Structure 1
Amino acid sequence: MAVRHLRILTVALLSGSLLSLAACGEDPPTPKPEAAVMGPAVIQAEPTTPTQSPRAGAPTTGACYRLSAADLAASTNSSSPVTCTDPHNAMTMRVALFPTDLQVTEPEYAQRVCARHLASTTGLSRSSVQGTVFAAHWFGPDAEQRAAGARWFRCDLVARTEQGTKRLPRSSAPLFNGTAPDEYVRCVQMRNGSTSDAVYVTCDRPHRYRWAGGFEAAGTRYPGADDLRTTVTQRCRRFVGSGPFWYVHPTKAAWRAGDRTVSCFRSVG
């Protein structure tokens, strides 16, 4: 019995010692919270300015399209390209940028640049292109692309006639090797046999006059119809010979806009 009492007393003394240490010793350190309780740190992102790109949404050179009259009347175009071996009436000749310090209107600048690529794209000389129905047509970026910094423009080759646009050959540029087929060459036909009712047609259709050559008239001021007629008669003879011929020269308004092109058509009988 004594032994049993002693064991109980010993436990009691030990318990008292623990209580005494807890009461008289220094405060235990505050436990650190676990990382899992804190969770990941949240850092607020600083506002950034969207990246501006002059080629935002720019199309691809060499792409081909089937464009409607409404498409060609619009200032921008988002039509999906088609395979150039499939029927198409437009081909992108070049994608260029408007200068940041543009000194003229966008249409004037784009048309001037696009026209320079007609010869290399068609495979014709610059003078020969003048006698065809090939023309340069341009599109610019849409509002969303401009907001993203876009200042590109797209130069398309089209074959434009009085009836609309013709299909282009199913091949890549250059389309020809120096000579265009009659379906793309410009001719003149007299409706009802009247010289006052002349229309442009392609030379694969009945016609009275066929394009023979052309030139750029000189001078900054419009010379007047009479003086221009004299110049045209003299210079067209080298292309049309001694027979009758037809010519087209710029109007006064076109001259002021920078057009100096004169086209000479020889008679085909």
Structure 2
Amino acid sequence: MTRALRLLGVTAVLVLLAGLLGVGTASAGETDPDPLAGAPAKGACYDLTYKQGWEHSVPEAPVECSDDHTTVVIAVGQLKAGVTWDSPEKTISKNVGAQCGAAFAAKIGSKPALLMYSQYNWFWFAPTDAEQEAGARWFSCHLASLEDNALSDLPDKLPRAGRNLPDVLARCYVGRKYAATTCADRHDWRLSYATVVRMKPTAKNLDKAAKRICPRHVSSRVWLRSAVPIDRKSFAIGCSTKTHR
């Protein structure tokens, strides 16, 4: 996939850019390459739609953060030495993922159980072709809160992931496919409790842990369980209460 939304929920989904123009060597008399040509400022806010998140470069100008906005720049990284926009997708992905992931963790947190309570995600944009021709090597990491098919308006203050988040950030589920969405959006289930289980993340262990943990942490007779593998010996499990919205 190219030019796709770059997200990090509890597990990262890194979608890569391929085939973009490389930066040639400047000839005599040309301006020196500028690695930050066109880069946004850290903290800049944008009012983007979910569809616009699929563009490979930021499709809109920034807006005042006091106005409605759906993303905020949490970092402006640069490709490391030896990496260009013509490098293999896997190489670019590793470089971008390391820097944006670190910025996300610093801003929102990195504990899997706490991340499950939120719809926080990150995605990234590359420079335009013209900016790349000017020598741009930057990429911008944007924080967002995802509904099932939209971006939620962000509040003025962005609390770290955890319990008691405002509805526009909190995780709920909707529909027969149990799509994750914010609790400000239409939903059928709300995450009530999440914890880390030190067991191999097999289907049998997930079911066993859910039956042991969830009934004590939900307020409805029926409940929904969700889980995210952390490594080969542990996983985070979430228990959701049935709602009437």
TM-score with structure 1 setting the length: 0.61
Is residue 109 of structure 1 aligned with residue 92 of structure 2? no
Structure (1/2) with the larger helix percentage? 1
- The secondary structure found in structure 1 opposite 2:188 is coil
CA contact (8 A) 2:46 2:69 kept: yes
Question: What is the RMSD computed on CA atoms of the aligned residues?
Answer: 3.6
What are the ranges of 5 or more consecutive residues in structure 1 without an aligned counterpart? 1-45, 220-226
CA contact (8 A) 1:209 1:245 kept: no
Structure 2 residue aligned with 1:264: 238
Alpha-carbon shift at residue 135 of structure 1 (Å): 0.6
Going from structure 1 to structure 2, the CA distance change for 1:105 and 1:161 (only over 3 Å counts) comes to farther
Given candidates 176, 184, 202, the residue that maps to 2:182 is 202
Structure 2 residue aligned with 1:222: none
CA contact (8 A) 1:187 1:211 kept: no
Given candidates 141, 163, 171, the residue that maps to 1:186 is 171
Given candidates 132, 139, 147, the residue that maps to 2:133 is 147
Alpha-carbon shift at residue 157 of structure 1 (Å): 0.7
Given candidates 232, 238, 251, the residue that maps to 2:206 is 232
CA contact (8 A) 1:187 1:265 kept: no
Going from structure 1 to structure 2, the CA distance change for 1:237 and 1:213 (only over 3 Å counts) comes to farther
Amino acid at match of 2:172: C
Q: CA offsets, 1:50-70, max 9 Å, x none?
A: 312222221100000111344
Q: Give runs of ≥4 in structure 1 deviating > 4 Å.
A: 122-126, 214-219, 234-239, 241-245, 260-263
CA contact (8 A) 1:124 1:176 kept: no
Larger Rg: 1
Structure (1/2) with the larger strand percentage? 2
Structure 2 residue aligned with 1:98: 79
CA contact (8 A) 2:47 2:68 kept: yes
Q: State how far apart, in whole Å, the 1-side matches of 2:140 and 2:197 are.
A: 26
Aligned ranges for residues 13-32 of structure 1 at < 5 Å?
none
TM-score with structure 2 setting the length: 0.66
Count, aligned residues: 203
Aligned ranges for residues 16-55 of structure 1 at < 5 Å?
47-55=28-36
CA contact (8 A) 2:199 2:235 kept: no
CA contact (8 A) 1:115 1:135 kept: no
Structure 1 residue aligned with 2:159: 176
Q: CA offsets, 1:236-264, max 9 Å, x none?
A: 5676355765334569xxx9xxxx97542
Q: CA offsets, 1:160-188, max 9 Å, x none?
A: 111301100124xxx12664213321122
- The secondary structure found in structure 1 opposite 2:151 is strand
Q: Which is bigger in relative contact order (C-alpha 8 A, separation at least 6)? A: 2
Structure 1 residue aligned with 2:11: none
CA contact (8 A) 1:86 1:170 kept: no
Identical positions, percent:
21
Structure 2 residue aligned with 1:133: 119
Amino acid at match of 1:143: D
Q: State how far apart, in whole Å, the 2-side matches of 1:268 and 1:86 are.
A: 34
What are the ranges of 5 or more consecutive residues in structure 2 without an aligned counterpart? 1-26
CA contact (8 A) 2:170 2:183 kept: yes
CA contact (8 A) 1:64 1:83 kept: yes
